[in-house]
Structures are given as C-alpha cells and as structure tokens.
A and B are shown apart, each in its own frame.
Chain A
Amino acid sequence: MPSWREDVRKVNIIVCVKRVPDTGTRIRIARGGSAIDPEGLRHVMNPYDEFALEAGLRTREAVGEGEVTAVSLGDAQSEETLRAALALGADRAILIEGTVTHDGLATAKVLASVIEEDRAELILLGKKAVDDDQEQVGPMLATLLGWSCASAVSQFELEGGHGSVRCARAVEGGTQYVRLPLPSVLTITKGAFEPRFASMKGIMAAKRKPLERRPAKAVASRLRLRSLELPPERSGGEFIGEGAGAVPELVRILRDEEGLI
C-alpha cells in the first residue's frame, strides 16, 4: 500500500482516460487501408489508464479531501469510458468532444487547453495507450503546461510539507527514484496500483455524477497516416520433434543454419 504524509489535506487530481480496443481482440484492417475495421471490436478503458485512475483514487482517499476528475478526448462513445471511471470512484468527468489522432502533440494541446481551466495539483495518465502505442502525451502535456513530469511511474507518494511528489520509475536496468515539485504530470505503469472492480453501488452512483461535455480546440494533426497493414504472416512452424530427444537437432539448427547461438 502507498503511504502518504499526513500534512497533505486536499488534492485535486485529473486522470486522462482513453477508450481503446480490448487487447484480447483481433485487429482487422478496414477497406481503404487507413483504419481498423470497427466491426465486432470490443472496447475498454486503456489498461494503463486503469492504473492511473486507481492511483488517483487511492491518493484522494489517503489525503481525505479533493476531487478526482476523469477527462477523455474522443467521440460520444468515450462517454462509456468516463462512466466506467465514475463507477470506479471518480467524482466528475469531462468529455472533450473531438477526434483523436496518432499525433500525440495535437492531443496534448487539446488536453492542455481544457486542463488550464481546472485547478489540479496532479494530472495522471497511463504510460501509453495500447492502440497507437505512441507513449508521449504525458511528457508533452507537462512541457506545454510548464509542469514537472515523471513517466513510467510504478509507485508515488505525495509529500505535503514540500509540496512535492516522490516517484519510483520503472526503467531499463532498475528503478529510478525522483522528487518533483507540484503541480506535476505523472504517467503510470503497472506496479503498486492494481485496479479495483466497480461495485454495483458505484455503477448506480455513476449515473448521477456530473459529466460535462466541452468542444475540443481545433488542432490539426501533423502526423499523416498513409496506410495501415497487417504485419507479414510468419511462415509457420517446423516441428523439430517431441520431447528431449529433439533438443540436439534444435541446437544444430540454431547454431549451424541460423548462426544464432
């Protein structure tokens, strides 16, 4: 469990959430080759955003006072994702009605223009969205707002006396510990914040919580998607054999034919 300094009394947190295709679903390319086929596609809240939301909820619960606001840029269907965030415990939601592209800087500009109107000490996002895998909106948003930022945060703790946040970052080769002054943007990865499940009571309450719609500022994408294609099929397997008896042949192939070991 995360721990919190007792002298933090109130914190307002914005959590950015995105509606993405379920990771278990197969992707097909739509005719025209520039989008995925929406037919039969299930959608979920981006799994990394679930960690971010959980982190926001636990922080607010530990501090005692303050609001968790879920924000999503997208079309009307993203309302589902925001209702899911409300059911889990967010206090209110903002749907920024607009188009999401693969240009993370365009997304960050839209989010920045909306977030500037709302007072918050923390903005939390998932480390990346598992649709475009661009992994960039958090640090870009922080740069535009002039806030401090840590990416790939697996655990953090508010330090009220310092007006700061202490973060553990999951990076190659280990864990980096950093301290940032608030306000701060953190992108969250799997770690301390295993998401909770929505209760029936939470789902009922979500229907009455405020969900505000705001138009997205017009920002053109400068990332042109020329085409989308399925990766080349791997020419499938050669069974070497069964059991330990097949091992010498496998090693021979990997060494002599492939030069890999």
Chain B
Amino acid sequence: MTKVLAVLEEREGWLTEVAGEVMAVAAGLAEDLGGSADALLPRGEAWRDGGEGVERSGVRRLTVLVHEALASYRPEVFTAVVESAVREGGYGAVLLAATSQGKDLAARLAARLDVPLAQEIVDLAVSGGEIELVRPVYAGKALARIHLDSSPLIATIRPHAFSLEPGKSAPEIEVVEADLDPSGWATEVLAFEASDPEVPDVAEAAVVVSGGRGLKGPENWDLLEGLRAALGGDAGLGASRAVVDAGWRPHAEQVGQTGQTVAPRLYFAIGISGAVQHLAGMRTAGKIVAINRDADAPIFKIADYGIVGDLFEVVPALTREIEALRARG
C-alpha cells in the first residue's frame, strides 16, 4: 500500500489555490495505487482555518507543523521538516506545487533523499503498477512521458494543469508544535517586499490578461489593468518578451520560454502577434482569446476566439461589457 504526501504552501497566511490541487492529485494517485494520502503544511503560527480547499481535499490527514521559523520560506528548515516527515511516514510519493518555493524545496529534498525529481508535471497515470508522469519540455513545445526509477517518487505539479474532480472527504487535522534545531540554517531571511497583493502572479492566475507590442507603450497598460480588474480577483497580468525586453513591463509578468509557462483557464492575448517562444508558454491555457489588428497574426492559429480590430477600441468595449455583466450579477 503506497502512501502519498502532499506538501502544502501558504501565502500571507492562507493556503494557495494550487495547494488544493496538490491535495486532490495526491488523493487521486493514492486511490489509483490502493493507498492513502496525507498532507503536510509547515506554518509560522497556530492554525485558524483551512477553508473549503481543505474540507474537500480528499486527503486522510492534514498535519499542520507549527514553528516560528516556518513563517517564511527558509529552505534548510523546510527541507529538514519535510525530509523527516517523508522518512518517518514511509511515503512512496511526495507531491509539491510547482511554485518557486515548491520547486526549490523539491530539488533539495530529492538531493537529500537521493532520488530523481520531475518538475512541473501536467499529468500522471498509473498503469501496471508503474506511475507515468507527463511534463512539458522546451517550454511546452513538446511533452515528455517519463518514469522515475526511484522511491519515493517526487514531483511538482503545475498550477491549473490538472482537471480535477472536487474531493470527497475532509481530513482529520492534527496540529503539531515542531521541535527544530536551528544549527545549520544557512539562510537568513531579511525582508519580503510584496508586489500588489490584489493581483495574483501570472503563473498562478486563473485568468491572464496579456499584452504585447500592439499596446504601443507602457502608458497604455491601464487598458489591460482595467480589463483585469473587471474580470475579478483571480485574474493576473502577463506580457510578451518584446515588451519586457523594452522595459515596459517587469520580467515577473513575462509569458514564454524565458519567462513563465502558464496554464490559466482563460488567456487574453492582446496586441500579441504570437512568436514561437510566446506560444510555447501559453498554449496549454484552457481557452485563448486573441485581439489583434492583423488577421494573419500567428496567435489566431491557436486562439479559440479571435477579434480582428483596433485593441484601443475593442479592449475598452470588452471591459465595459464585462463590468455591465458583473453589475447585473
């Protein structure tokens, strides 16, 4: 019987949305393997509430490990607590979120446990007792089907990539005060400078409003920001490499091979012609809407819905229409 561990992550004291996905994938994998799934949440202060994401997670037990040193990501501390949980719990598989924290932690954990690691998986299947993992390579220009010859299996899960059924059961929650030895913690966390907390990161946003050179200048981004705000709290902003290279937008927003590879439910490509390296970064989005002046732009070849026209007219009209929709409820 294989036990699966989901390692969860918080942002500003709340479970991330992808934490729910990690639990659901872990629960599904455990079911396929005839085993059970647990979850581990390292956190800096006592547990208050997990919300719906926890109640319907499908995992058997959620262990909340509390210590003040776990309030922000210190890699050595997090690696140590997860490593001991994996060893003591005898887990056969460990799943984390493919966030900057999850990927860093997974790499250190894999080296500590001396097992290979698959980052950013988008699918997984069990057949004949073997687990096949699917992960994009070349920024999504190709998909690799792989197998890890190791135990435990360690993988990180790309946000929004799995289509999930809502979990069935609520876990038993266990809160444990961690007993940690601070020697050997190399990393000193000095500060955290939050970007706009209202706007989710492009890699995690459920809806992405992305702009390219067609916007003509950084001063026109209030158009996209207006659309993003109208779409609601789980919408983020993206950008093409051209506009990031031009200094119009921060690299954190860049979608494509040298930026973020994203898989939101809905992606708006606005004034983006669709260079190969950009398409690679967003082609796994659920639905793609393209707005471009040039009907021959490559973006229309992969878009589900396209409007040919002047974005300076189309985008404000779209924003107004969505705002009106929201106002009507």
Which residues of A pack against B, CB within 8 Å? 21, 23-27, 29, 36, 47-48, 102-106, 108, 130-140, 142-144, 148-152, 154, 166, 169-181, 189-191, 221-231, 234, 236-244, 246-248, 250-251, 253-255, 258, 260-261
Is A237 a contact partner of B290 (Cβ separation < 8 A)? yes
Contact for A175 among B106, B193, B309, CB less than 8 A: B193
Contact for B284 among A230, A231, A239, A241, CB less than 8 A: A231
- Name the residue on A nearest B195 (C-beta): A174
Is B304 a contact partner of A234 (Cβ separation < 8 A)? yes
- Chain A proximity mask over B253-274: 1 for CB below 8 Å, otherwise 0: 0101111010001100000000
Is B119 a contact partner of A140 (Cβ separation < 8 A)? no
- Name the residue on A nearest B284 (C-beta): A231
List A contacts of B110 (CB < 8 A).
105, 136, 140
A85 to chain B, nearest CB (A): 18
A133–B258 alpha-carbon span in the complex (Å): 10
A interface SS class: mixed
B186 to chain A, nearest CB (A): 4
A253–B303 alpha-carbon span in the complex (Å): 14
Contact for A102 among B115, B146, B189, B207, CB less than 8 A: B146
A223–B251 alpha-carbon span in the complex (Å): 31
Is A149 a contact partner of B75 (Cβ separation < 8 A)? yes
Given known A139-B107, A149-B75, A173-B201, contact A133–B187 (CB-CB < 8 A): no
Is A25 a contact partner of B276 (Cβ separation < 8 A)? yes
Is A251 a contact partner of B143 (Cβ separation < 8 A)? no
- Name the residue on A nearest B76 (C-beta): A148
Q: Is B114 close to A, CB under 8 A? A: yes
Q: Is B175 close to A, CB under 8 A? A: no
Q: Is B310 close to A, CB under 8 A? A: yes
Is A225 a contact partner of B301 (Cβ separation < 8 A)? no
Closest 7 CB pairs of A and B: A143-B111, A148-B186, A243-B309, A139-B107, A136-B107, A244-B317, A27-B141
